[in-house]
Structure 1
Amino acid sequence: MPKITGMKVKLYVMQAATGKVLAGQKNATLNRSADSIDATSKDTEGFWKESMQGFKEWSIDADGAFVADDAAYGVLEDAYLNSENVDVYLEFPSGAKYEGNCAITDFSLDAPFDDLVTYKLSLQGNGALAVTAGE
């Protein structure tokens, strides 16, 4: 099974039905979790708890170097300022995509005296995360 590096995974922001890659992006983390529902009952064997998966949620955390004229960053900026959700996807070299609608919950800029201006971004999934297989 081929291994890939994270530098080949890109975060895209949708604008007018077209995905725009987020320029300067360095890191991205896709977080997925589910609630645990206790399904233990009187007929559970051996005094072992039983669990089942409940509601799921997802989010994306990303950071990178700020690029002033980046179209994708502009879409995020407008959406954040107007309290709107955005459609995004993470794309892998194989073409596999993780995509969905998100609320922007953190959007920070860091401007150190002697280094690049950078951003941090947290996107909280709104509804289902769609997964499409690559080629």
Structure 2
Amino acid sequence: MPRKIAGAEVLLKVKQNETLIPVAGQQGMTINLSADTMDVTDKTSDGWKTYMPALKEWSIDQDVFYTVGDQSNKLLLDAYLNGRTVVVDVLAGEEDEAGSIHFTGEAYITSFPFDFSLDNAASVSMSLSGASALTVEVKEVAP
């Protein structure tokens, strides 16, 4: 039966060795999918510009409370500082649920700003940019 899912159910996980670990302190997350287009307008397009698909890209914006002593925060900061990729995994829905979407890919952390506001918990609003194709698997829905 179709159901809506809460954003709180969807977690960003990163691979450490062969284990997926949830990123600690997660708040908001946005997965950005975008594509460029190529202008293929010619003299026969009746004065209208025409386009075709070109390169695609993806990124993730993730807000977290910085969690002292947490392994996932250390792994992400180390990857940023050393210019290494991380393997990311996001599942929207349950693994065996019809219509669930599973995103996996390799990404570079391109931004890792710390916020140490007086009136808030310490946080990081990191950005990850795809370093490879994003794998998107949608679980089949029975007719």
Find the partner of 2:116 among 111, 119, 126. 111
Within a 5 Å distance, the mapping from 1:2-81 to structure 2 comes to 2-44=3-45, 46-81=46-81
SS at match of 1:78: helix
Q: Is the 8 A contact 1:37 1:53 kept in 2?
A: yes
Q: TM-score if structure 2 supplies the norm length?
A: 0.86
Shift of 1:89: 1.6
Q: TM-score if structure 1 supplies the norm length?
A: 0.90
Shift of 1:111: 1.4
Would you say how many aligned residue pairs link Structure 1 and Structure 2? 134
Q: Distance in 2 between matches of 1:17 and 1:133?
A: 23
* Cα deviation digits, residues 30-84 of structure 1 (max 9, x gap): 111111111222232x432211110111100010211112221111111112121
The match for 1:130 is 135
Task: Give the CA RMSD over aligned residues.
Answer: 1.5
Q: Is the 8 A contact 1:94 1:134 kept in 2?
A: no
Shift of 1:91: 1.5
The match for 1:102 is 107
SS at match of 1:72: helix
Q: Distance in 1 between matches of 2:49 and 2:138?
A: 35
Shift of 1:134: 4.0
Percent identity of the aligned residues?
A: 38
